[in-house]
Amino acid sequence: MSNYWSDVLGGTKSLAVGLGITIKAFFQPVVTMQYPREYVKMTPRFRGHIDLVKNEETGGPKCIVCGMCQKACPSGCITLAGKKPEGSKKKVLTEYTLDFTKCSLCGLCVESCKPGAIDFSKEFNLAGPSREAYVFDLIKRLKERS
Partner 1 sequence: MTANPVVRLLISLLVVIGFIAFNAAFLVWVERKGAGHIQRRIGPKEVGPYGLLQTVVDGVKLMSKQLFVPDHVDPILFRVAPLLILIPAVMSFVTIPFSDVLVARKIDLGLLMVFAFASVNVLGLLIGGWGSGNKYAVISAARAVSQNVAYEIPMLVTTITIVMITGTLNMNEIVAQQAGGFWNWNILPLGKNFLLAAIMPISFLIFFICSLAETNRAPFDMAEAESELIAGAYTEYPGMGFGVFFMGEYANIIVGCALATILFLGGWQCPFGLFPGVHWFLIKLYLLIFTVVWIRWTYPRTTIYGLLNLSWKVLIPFSLSILLLTAAILKVL
> Of 1 and 127, which CB lies nearer to partner 1 in the complex structure?
1
Contact 113, 25 (CB under 8 A): no
Cα-Cα-Cα-Cα dihedral of 49, 50, 52, 56, to 10°? 90
2 binds partner 1 (CB under 8 A): no
> Of 28 and 43, which CB lies nearer to partner 1 in the complex structure?
28
Q: Which of residues 3-42 bind partner 1 (CB under 8 A)?
A: 4, 8, 15, 18-19, 21-23, 25-32, 34
d(CA 74, CA 96): 17
Q: Which of residues 74-103 bind partner 1 (CB under 8 A)?
A: none
Name the minimum Å distance from CB 5 to partner 1.
11
> Of 8 and 133, which CB lies nearer to partner 1 in the complex structure?
8
- Judged by DSSP in three states, 99 sits in strand
Name the minimum Å distance from CB 39 to partner 1.
17
d(CA 46, CA 43): 5
> Of 8 and 81, which CB lies nearer to partner 1 in the complex structure?
8
- Which neighbouring-strand residues pair with 92? 83
Q: Which of residues 100-139 bind partner 1 (CB under 8 A)?
A: none
Distance (Å) of CA 68 to CA 21, 28, 39, 41, 115: 58, 53, 34, 31, 11
Applying CB under 8 A, which residues contact partner 1? 4, 8, 15, 18-19, 21-23, 25-32, 34
